[in-house]
Structure formats: structure tokens, C-alpha cells
Chain A
């Protein structure tokens, strides 16, 4: 059997070997076991259900709580030439949903958002079609002890609970705390699941947290690091404006860099990804909008100029480095008052009681929420969050939930700050946060354990030239590979 699996791995996915843990997980799935699989981010979780999909006779249903993640996985499957893949989410119109629902069984990979599973029509259809495997992606979202609790995910358990002879369930996550694991077992109604737990540590990523005196000083340090040490790299910053500014300043210093944020046209964002993948630029200066869908294995550096909004987001972002296994560096530059700024950014656009009142008042008077946005009474984010909660909870409950969530956001920033500013090993702290202990530390582990930068990253190479424009005739013939 292993031979066969290797054959599919190579033919369908183009890999000659499995990453740690993948083979065991796939074997358990094929033996019809329920599986809880814990793998670090970016280390090939999706392969664990994609490959069995080509062996199992029927559809694989994947429940995915993050829309962007879902879209990326659909795109990746399509890119491999898989046509039998469908994303079923709230972006579809009613009639599109109906059409797709009618022929749902024709799809091999069916992606669903958690709230879709609870819709009667969808539920009924899922009951009537043969399913070989159900996947709960980002399964920690089911636990309110997890850092990213999604109440809708709980209904997934209700659905699985109703279903006596259901297909096996695979729960995937990068969190291994006991509470979260327990919640996954109970809420997903798992039957004696086999656990496959990989170390969440990424030993080839080295951590540095460096304090600087001032904002200006920070930029100079970042510029120096980018100038001294090699890319490809990602420089994460907090705002669109800053991303543009940094990039502009670094371009004038001769760095091949482009900015990337959600304020840019979709096509522009794709262009930056193309340039990064084609090694036409060495650096991307981005907000947290960058990452999903960027499948580049040789990222050598990730730099932050701020405290990210949580430990989970931090490890997501730095986890984009070193996927090829080679040494990589994650550096975070901070000043003393950066924590306040991060808290401001995280909570600034988050609604509170006053916003709830504005929203309710408007609803009572038959005013559309979009009007409130155009009158600048509420932001789009306010409306999105308030519509979500107020359609599920009472006003009082919503106010309470929002208050808790706000506190949680602040606490999450304290957590990441504590880890980075503590005098103990950053690696140890991060792995502990996700419920594991580390067995060994690499040499040059982190800035607390002590490290020499130039051992980890090479000094930057002589710059090849930055983008140049071609004549339109040349450009056209290179697009179509015409020899003129």
C-alpha cells in the first residue's frame, strides 16, 4: 500500500517524499479510523485529505471556517488539474447554490463553511449522497478555549452527532492544548480517534526580538537588516499606508521590494505574488492580508515592525518562512510603546455598546446598515460584526459578547508581547502556548538563547536589476513566446 501512496504522491502532487506525519495520518484515514492530526502550520495539512481523496470511492467533505483558506485550497486543487472541486459558501447566490446542490455528488472535494452545514437543504443533500471522509479543518475553532473560537463550528458537532453510521472524521489543527483536544473529541463526536501529533516546533526558524529606541530608528534597523541579509523575505507592517511608505523608501535604497495590502486592486495583488514567486522581487512589504495563497518555499526572512494581534497570527506569519527546511530568520523590531499601538489597531474598528445602539436604532426605523456606513456612523467592519451577532443573540447578550471579545483581543496582544519580551527562550514559549514542550533547541535558537545572525542567513547578494519596462512589441512576444 505504501508503494501505491508514494506513486500517487508523485503523480498527482509532484512530491517524491512525505513530510513528517503525513503518511501515518493517511494510512489511518484509509483504515476508516477517526483521526485527530496536529501539524505545524504550513507543513502540508491539506495533503492529508487530498491524497486519500484519490483512493477513497466517494466525496470528501471539508469544513473550513476561514473563507480565504477555503478559496486558496480550492485554487490549489484546481491548479493541479482537479476539476471536481467546489466551494460552498455564503458568497453564492440562492440560485447558484441550488444548481450546485443538485449535482453535489459529482464533486470529489466539497468545501463547506460551518454555517452551510446547518442549512436544512444542505443537510438533507449531504445525507443523501455517499461521502467517504469528513474533514474539520482548523478544528481548534470548535473550542472556546482555542484562540479562534467560532460558535458556528459547534453546529458541525450537532450534524455529526445525528449521523450514526457516518464516514470517518479527520480533525486538523495546529493547537495541542488539552482543553482544545478534549473539545475537539467531544464536540465533533469522534469515535476513539487515533491521534497523530507532530512537534509544532519549526527548528529551522530562528527567532529574534530586538528593541529599538524610536519609530525612525526602527525603520533604519529594518532597512539595514534587509540590506545586509538575503531574502526572499516578507516585511509585515500594520497599515496599508505604512506598507506603501516602507516599500517606496526601500526601493530608493535599491531593494527589490513591492507593497501588498487589501487596498490594492485584486489583479495588482496577484502581480506582486507573481513577481515574488518568479524571483523578480526579493521582498514583499505587506499587511496581514499577505500570506494565504502564497506558496513559496524558500522564504528566508520574515520581519515584523509591530506586535501581531495574537500568538497564533504571529506563528502563522513567521511560519511562511523556511518551508523548504533550510535555516530562516524571524525578526521582530519593537519600541516600548508598540503594545499600545497594537491594542489600538486591534480594537479601534471593533464595535462597542454605542455602536450596538446605533445599529438597533437604525434597524427599528427601517434604515439599511449600508446607509449607516455611507453616513460614516458605522464602519463596514462594525456592520459585519454587528449583523452577525445581532441576528443570533439579543442586544444585551451581544453587548456582553463584544465586551468579552474586546478583552480577549487585548489579552492576546499581551500574550505575544510577553513571549517576545520575556527573558526566556522564545521557541519554548511559543510551543508551550500551543500545548507542547520542546525536546531540543537548535544552535542559535533565538535572541534570548543567543544567536549569530550571519550563521543563519546569508549576507545579501549583489542586486540584480529591479523591474524594467519593455517595449509593447517585446512584451507581447514574450507573453506568447513568439520569436520575432
Chain B
């Protein structure tokens, strides 16, 4: 149900200006110009990369069920619209402490570290180091090995300290018992097996997808808590590099660096061997995310604030409509204007 409500929320925000694929790409955390722009323009930062593994097939199936239930309609142009019944369902949605745009899927890396550190310490405490690591990724293995060495995990009292930090963090008021039941049973250790999603779903009588949403929310809250609580020593180290420091995607960051070194769009295209449209996507991303980025070079002798106001008056973010109203501007220019004119980050919005 939570998942369906989130879809309804997105559909509602997208204001009949995007197709039914837009929420799918956003939930998967697709790093394309269009999706990134959607995240910002429609204030959907929370849900970015909520389900990176979601298949098109299961998504379509859920949408189909939602149509059957009469919560939304999808017209012949594939544009979804929320129904009255859908709005009622949406109104029941709880407020999520999700922050997908800030963590961008990296919260999973944090969890991988946490689960392998927990498993290792649990075996250290039991004096039995013969175990198969729960995480298969070599990069995580190396990270955990390095981390444990650095914090001298063999020292007397280390495990106790680590345990106390986890306990303190878990006592955050923003975390519910359900959050913590899920998280703690997704960890495993010496003679303590983990519990699968299916099993959790069965025992908690809650849909598996909803549990996964709560799990993600729980990780976001835990990570926020870790960065706020100055008394913690070990957990902040475990969350190093998890929070995105640049709001740009990696590729856009490289374009931005080249641009800041004084290269033109054409030069960047040839250096990076990328299409013009891709580089333009990057500039739109920069316009959206970098407060100091100026779009004046694309509008040599015009009053940008004035044009932005005119665009706002149209009360749409749909490019095709805007292009009809302002034929003199290219699509690229219109996207830049939208990016600048769009409200700033919507972390608190629901």
C-alpha cells in the first residue's frame, strides 16, 4: 500500500505533464537529464532511487492493479491522472523521512558495511572466525577489513563500544519499533541467522515492498542521526562517503569541471566524446543544483528574471506547451529557465 501511495503522490506532483514511465525511472534512480530534472522540478527528491532493482514488469503490474482499483487513469498518451478515489488513498499516506536524492542508493552500501561488520564482530566475540561473509562484494570486504584494522577491533571493549553506539542511534525518536524490527532482523551473526523479506512479510503481515520502503526510510533516519550526534565515534566513520557531497551526477560533475576550466560546450563534447544533448543535460543539472551557476551566457542580452516570470505565468512545466508559447527559445534554453526558476530543494515537502 505504501508503494502505491508513493506512486499516487508522484503522479499527483507530475501534474499530467509526464508519462507513466517518469515515476518508474525516478524510483529506479535513473541518472538521465530528464529524470534528474523531474526530481527537482516536481519536488520528488525523496523517492529517487527508492527501488533500484524494480523491474518494468513488476512496475507495470502494480500500475495495472492501481488502474483496476480505480485509483488512477492513464490516457492514450500514457499520461497518468489521479482519480478522486486515488486522492483519498493518497491522503492516507504517512509522511516519509526519505531522502533519496541525498543518498542516491548509497545507503545500501552503508547497510552492506554494517551487516558485514556486525557479522564479523559477532564471530569475533564467539571466538569462531570461520564463516562465509554475508556480503559478496569484494569492495565491501576490503572496506570492512580496512575499517576494522583502523579502529583496532581486537582491543578490549571495542565490541561493547560499537554495540552501544548502535543502540544509542537506534533510540532516535524518529525510528519506530517496526523500523528497528526490520533492520535488526536483516542483520546476522554467529548462530543468529538473518530473516528473508518473504519471511518478514509473512510474520509482520505486511507487504514486502512496504517493508523495503520502511527499511530504506530507517537507513536514512539512521544516517541522519549518525551525522547529527557528535558523541558517536565509530558509526560516522562507517558512513563515510555515503552522503552525496556534490549534488551533480558523476558525469555532470566531470562536464562541470571542464566548463569551470574554461572549455566551451563544443570542446567538452569532443574531449568527452559525448553528444551535444548529453552535455546540455549536464548544464541543466548544473543550473538546477549549483547556486552560483549563471545561465547568462545562453541569454546574452535579455532579462532572465523577466522571462522566468513569464514562464511561471504559464503554470506548466511541460516543455512542448512552453515551446508553443515561446517559439523564439530553444528547448535547451527553456529547460535552463525552468531549472533556474524551479523552487529550491524540497527536502521538507511531502
Contacts and interface: CB of A to CB of B under 8 A. Distances in A.
Contacts of A259: 198
A117 B345 CA distance: 54
Interface in A263-290: 264-268, 270-272, 274-275, 278, 280
Interface stretch (A151-159, A169-177, A473-481): A473-481
A57 interface: no
B122 A258 contact: no
A75 B131 CA distance: 9
B185 A475 contact: yes
B196 A271 contact: yes
Interface in A453-479: 467-473, 475-479
Contact of A271 (B129, B188, B204): B188
A470 B177 CA distance: 11
A476 B184 contact: yes
B183 interface: yes
Interface residues of A, number: 38
A115 interface: no
Interface residues of B, number: 45
B134 A270 contact: yes
Contacts of B198: 244, 247, 258-259, 264, 268
Contacts of B187: 475, 479
Nearest to B177: A472
Given A80-B130, A467-B195, A274 B159 contact: no
A366 interface: no
A76 to B, nearest CB: 8
B197 A472 contact: no
Nearest to B204: A469
B255 interface: no
Nearest to B197: A268
A344 B185 CA distance: 39
Contacts of A354: none
Interface string B156-197: 000110110011001000000100110111111111111111
Contact of B203 (A75, A469, A475): A469
Contacts of B194: 267-268, 270-271, 274
Contact of B170 (A468, A476, A482): A476
Interface of B is mostly: helix
Interface of A is mostly: helix
Interface in A238-273: 244, 247-248, 251, 258-259, 264-268, 270-272
A266 B196 CA distance: 10
B188 A274 contact: yes
B209 to A, nearest CB: 13
B328 interface: no
A259 B200 CA distance: 13
A80 B128 CA distance: 11
Interface in B39-83: 53
Given A81-B130, A472-B177, A480 B188 contact: no
Contacts of A480: 118, 121-122, 125, 159-160, 162-163, 189
A472 B185 CA distance: 8
A258 B194 CA distance: 12
Contact of B132 (A247, A280, A293): A293
A275 B131 CA distance: 14
B148 interface: no
Contacts of B204: 469
Given A79-B131, A476-B166, A274 B193 contact: yes
A266 B194 CA distance: 12
Contact of B193 (A248, A278, A472, A477): A278
B126 interface: yes
Nearest to B183: A472
Contact of B129 (A81, A244, A258, A265): A81
A244 B31 CA distance: 33
B246 interface: no
A267 B166 contact: no
B136 A476 contact: no
Interface string B255-272: 000000000000000000
A271 B193 contact: yes
B199 interface: yes
A291 to B, nearest CB: 15
Interface string A55-88: 0000000000000000000010001110000000
A472 B181 contact: yes
Interface of B: 53, 115, 118, 121-122, 125-126, 129-132, 134-136, 159-160, 162-163, 166-167, 170, 177, 180-181, 183-200, 202-204
6 closest pairs, A vs B, by CB? A472-B180, A274-B193, A271-B194, A475-B184, A472-B184, A268-B196
Given A468-B203, A481-B122, 20 more contacts: A258-B198, A258-B199, A264-B197, A264-B198, A268-B196, A268-B198, A271-B194, A274-B194, A275-B193, A280-B193, A469-B181, A469-B195, A471-B181, A473-B167, A476-B170, A477-B163, A478-B189, A480-B118, A480-B125, A480-B163
